[in-house]
Amino acid sequence: MNNRLPLRARVAIYGLICLLAIPFVFPTWWMVTSSFKPVSDIFAFPPSLIPTELSFSAYRRVFELQPFAQQYLNSAYIAAVVTVGTLAVSSLAGYAFARIRFRGQHALFLVVLVGLLIPSEVTIVPLFQMFNSVGMIDTHWPLILVPTLGAPSVLATFIMRQFFITLPGELEEAARVDGLGRLATFWRIALPLARPALGAVAIFTFLHSWNLYLEPIVFLSTPEKFTLPQALTQFVDAYGGPMWDVQLSAASMTALPVLVVFVIAQRQFIEGLAHTGLKG
Amino acid sequence: MRKRLTAVVALAAMLGLSACGGGDSAGSDGPVSLRMTTWSANEAHLKLFNDIAAEYQSSHPNVAKITFDPIPFESYTTTLTTQIAGGNPPDLAWVLENAAPDFVSSGALLPLDETLRKTDGYGFDELAPAATKLWQADGKLYGYPFSTSPFGIFVNTDLVKAAGAKSPAELIAANAWTWENAVTTASAVAARTGKAGLVVRDFDYKGWDNLSTIWTGWGAQAWSADGKTCGFNAHEMVDAMTFLHQAIFTAKALPGPGTAADFFAGEAGMTITQISRASLLDKQKFGWDLVPLPAGPKGNYSVIGQGGMGVLKKGKHAAVAADFLAFLTNPANSAKLAQFFPPPRTPLLTAATLAKTNPLLKPEQLQSVVIDGIANGVVKPNHTGQAELSQAVRSALDPMWKADADVRGVLDGVCSAINPLLAK
Amino acid sequence: MPVLTDNVAGRAEPRPAPGGTAASPRRRWWTSRRRDQLAGLLFVTPQLVGTALFVLLPLGLVVWYSLHEWNVLADTFDFVGTDNYRELVDDPKLPGVLRSTLFFSVGLVVFNLALALLLAVLLNQRLRGTVVFRTLFFSPVVVSLVAWTIVWGFLLQDNGGVNGVAGAVGLDGPNWLRGEWTALLSVIVVQVVKNVGLNMVLFLAALQGVPAELYEAARVEGASRWTQFRRITVPLISPTILLTSIITVVGALQVFAQIAVLTQGGPGTSTTVLVYYLYQQAFQFHQFGYGSTLSVLLFLIVLTLTVVQWRMRRKWVFHEQ
């Protein structure tokens, strides 16, 4: 738009943004700094904003107490597989629902949308029964199959459909003139244009899988197979009380890499989504 | 049950899910695996359990593997229930005291008497009756109370001294360790040091069953022993709650609702909690003491909290699991477990034995709090359908935690909220 | 647009289809409409299979359970017909639960969308440092829910950080988690701050897609900033508003962990929303049958809301005809 907002307006906007940022930043800041504090200082009141002494012992303990590197790897590979799988499933379905005319299209879309509407607490028991009956308890299969094909991927399909619907109709015309089939049109033309929407879906899906809490606890029981959110709950002292410093160190290590990736990817993602996404 | 599972299997197979399935076939005669769910993921606990399991396996080749499956405390019951509902129950499970009546009375657990009695050198009769009471139904024992932990009061002696108040130790010596005086001391700490006076740990104006550590001193109880009559509007309870209400809102001896203070971080003068928390004081910079609960109008008393272990009847190898439980809790292994969990066995309940594994506590503290506590302790409130009752009490008690509350009226409200549940 | 050859197209077809230019007798039967029919179905097959297996089948089982009295511990599973549904109608706690659910969801959706839009508009001004702020506002999304909720539980105490700040500016803050309305408000705010970053990013992207010329034209005609926002910005980003509002409504009805940690449904039952209530019934009270009945109710509510939003889209969403 314009670079020339009056100085007073700019100061006001900065002031407002800074004020609004406090509740967003403080808890994260507290989490990271507290992970360096001795336990007795963590809940001291008022909280100290900067740790008085830097102690890395909690970070060492994270790796001593749990196979944390392995658990990190589990979370990362599950999230990666789920993300790639969801991108494939949802872009295909989203494209078909938006651009191809076939009988039953609307009814099927509504059926798929049902998946959006169910909290995981509702279906966890039947899902457990199903996976138990095929011997997939204490494996990563439920954590991969359900998000990729089940309820969580429906949101992705929905986003992809909403995106593909905004593409101009001439695309298919041109493709047909070139003699392209549907799959080729999808793969060579629609998908490259959809990069920003794919970016949005990738971010949603990755975070969803990365933060999944109830499902891993219910489905997994071997520490070597645990995922990160589940591992965070395992750092407890001899009486079941949380070891705060260790938990917070582990939580910090869980959050920071994802944040770094967001920082690197955000400009491309936001601007990409903006430039190709919503120009009718 | 079987019909439902068959339906699920058939459906799943129809939809092609079974193509990718593997899994072991149930009920084979080969070596068996046992699984025990716990709410502790502590490495020292798991190491001890694994050592005992390894020892058991070396003499029992029919058991190929024993795993301990730690589930986070907050989601423990959810996960255990899901596993049972989903047809994959563990062979053995820890059971929380507030879930004990449900587990014991529902028939989900295997009776243990026979297995334990016929195990050589088990010493079944050593188990203290006060400890096993909660785990029995119709004269049978359904759970082994591996942890029987009395409540005591930890004192931050530095804060009490700074406040110039009479310390609990002095009061005990003067034979004046009563709730009146305890509140006076706590109130002085709060007023003069700016820290909290007395904290009932884990209460936080939600976990009301922890208040039984106070009202038992008045002879009050949440409900009658047979679980049929509400005790909240009995005059003992009204007196106890009136005392507590004044201690909170007039004397300011306890931090008010929504104000948490951690004793173990040096933020409170005293705290009521289970003695097993002593380990948290290992590296503390303040001076501390452990004393029994003060006397109430009804004299001295003590309250205990428990954790039990049981064998799931629906587990695949219930008999083997019961045999392992007998091994895990035999006298030798009970002595090992005693370093973390106060045991229910009377011969182990001597100050000298306990002192070996609890170096932080003095023998006289162990005697007065642990040993005497277990002998005459009242278990925290428990009832079948505890979760629903507990929820109803919590929400009916909420109006109590205001300065101008009508104590009697609120307690009547609690009874009308839970009477239909007690009648079930 | 990439130049494509027939060759590539032929290989990429889902099925060996007749070459684009080759005329054959089958050609008349194998029309593009039939081809589309097949392609469409094939494209949505993975999603449909997944939906059938992991959504519809479990949902069907939940409906089946809801016709039973199922106590997991006692291992009873008895067909009781519609008894659970009758219990639902008579449940004295349910009206309160539905009321809390309504206030909670409406509050959360309105606050979330308004804040997301406000942040997006502020960050869309071409000011230096917006990338930094974008990251800050997004950061709670990646923080562990447990750590996040614990810190807020700590901040919202009577003597906690929030009231400390309020005191510094001369206000006497309430005891947030102990008052019925303030507890509800607190849970909403904690949840919104945690997740508003996602909606903010979507709005930001939508705002950047609004052509600058439109604003230029409006300014020439003397439209105020507010008019520009109302007449240009809102209509042009309406598809995004639809998307985010559906996601947020559905998400609001599924908030569970924060309530479990911060208030456990209290004080009283002021924060006992439907999903928390059904969790209590099924997993804490071991009443799986009745819990499943509540699940069916929750499902019907979400379904109705979504269908209504979806129907309304033609009225106000710019891109759908």
pLDDT per residue as tens digits for the range B357-368? 677 778 888 888
Contact A237 B279 (CB under 8 A): yes
Residues on B contacting C at a C-beta cutoff of 8 Å: 1, 4, 8, 11-12, 15, 17, 74, 77-78, 81-82, 84-85, 102-103, 106-108, 205-206, 256-260, 314, 385, 387-388, 391, 394-395, 398-399, 401
* Residue C293's pLDDT band (cuts 50, 70, 90): very high
Mutate: best of A11, A87, A125, partner C, most C CBs <10 A: A125
Long-range contacts made by residues C113-119, C-beta under 8 angstroms, separation at least 24? C113/C199, C113/C241, C113/C244, C113/C245, C113/C248, C115/C192, C115/C196, C115/C200, C116/C196, C116/C199, C116/C200, C116/C202, C116/C203, C116/C244, C117/C203, C119/A20, C119/C196, C119/C200, C119/C203
- Least confident piece of the model among A82-91, A152-161, B108-117, B350-359: B350-359
Contact B17 A134 (CB under 8 A): yes
Structure tokens at C169: 């500016």
Q: Phi/psi of residue A231, each to 5°?
A: -60, -35
Contact C73 B84 (CB under 8 A): yes
Predicted confidence (pLDDT) per residue in A225-253, tens digit = 999 988 887 887 655 667 778 888 888 89
Contact C266 B395 (CB under 8 A): yes
In this prediction, residue A274 carries a pLDDT of 59
- Partners of residue A48 in chain B, C-beta under 8 Å: none
Evaluate if residue A278 carries a pLDDT over 50. Answer: no
Question: Is there a domain that residue A184 lies in?
Answer: yes
* Residue B352's pLDDT band (cuts 50, 70, 90): confident
Total number of domains in chain A:
1
- Partners of residue B265 in chain A, C-beta under 8 Å: 39-44
A145 close to A227: Cβ distance less than 8 angstroms: no
For chain B, residues classed under CATH 3.40.190.10 are: 30-149+305-378, 151-303+381-422
Contact A108 C44 (CB under 8 A): yes
Question: Is there a domain that residue A126 lies in?
Answer: yes
Measured distance CA(C242)–CA(C263) in Å, rounded: 31
* Residue A277's pLDDT band (cuts 50, 70, 90): very low
Domain of A102? Answer: 62-277
Residues 278-307 of B with CB under 8 A from A: 279-280, 283-285
| Coil, strand or helix at B377 | strand
Q: Chain A: residue nearest B11 by CA?
A: A130
- Partners of residue C13 in chain A, C-beta under 8 Å: 181-184
Instruction: Note the ipTM here.
Output: 0.83
Q: Chain A: residue nearest B85 by CA?
A: A125
C43 close to A92: Cβ distance less than 8 angstroms: yes
Question: Is there a domain that residue A45 lies in?
Answer: no
A207 close to C143: Cβ distance less than 8 angstroms: no
Predicted TM-score (pTM) of the model is 0.83
Question: Is there a domain that residue A16 lies in?
Answer: no
In this prediction, residue C263 carries a pLDDT of 85
Q: Compute the average pLDDT of residues C213-224.
A: 88
Evaluate if residue B220 carries a pLDDT over 90. Answer: yes
A139: CATH: 1.10.3720.10
Tell whether C289 is within 8 A of chain B (Cβ). Answer: no
List CB contacts of A110: < 8 A, sequence separation 6 or more: none
Contact B87 A241 (CB under 8 A): no
In this prediction, residue B21 carries a pLDDT of 35
- Partners of residue C133 in chain A, C-beta under 8 Å: 17, 21
| Coil, strand or helix at B7 | helix
In this prediction, residue C318 carries a pLDDT of 61
* Residue C177's pLDDT band (cuts 50, 70, 90): confident
How far is the alpha carbon of A130 from chain B, nearest alpha carbon, in Å?
6
Which among C52, C285, C288 is the nearest to B387, CB-wise? C285
Query: Chains meeting C at 3+ CB pairs closer than 8 A?
Result: A, B
Q: Chain A: residue nearest C211 by CA?
A: A279
Average pLDDT, chain C: 83
Which among C46, C48, C201 is the nearest to A270, CB-wise? C201
Question: Options 3.40.190.10, 3.40.50.150, 3.40.1410.10, 3.40.50.920; which CATH number does B30-149+305-378 get?
Answer: 3.40.190.10
Predicted confidence (pLDDT) per residue in A113-151, tens digit = 888 777 777 888 899 889 989 999 899 999 999 999 988
Question: Is there a domain that residue A205 lies in?
Answer: yes
In this prediction, residue C44 carries a pLDDT of 94
H-run or E-run covering A130: helix A120-133
Which among A1, A126, A148 is the nearest to C126, CB-wise? A1
Which among A128, A217, A238 is the nearest to B42, CB-wise? A238
Tell whether C127 is within 8 A of chain A (Cβ). Answer: yes
Q: Compute the average pLDDT of residues C316-321.
A: 56
Evaluate if residue B14 carries a pLDDT over 50. Answer: no
**Domains defined for chain C, CATH in brackets:** 93-316 (1.10.3720.10)
Tell whether C229 is within 8 A of chain A (Cβ). Answer: no
The CATH superfamily holding the domain B151-303+381-422 is Periplasmic binding protein-like II (3.40.190.10)
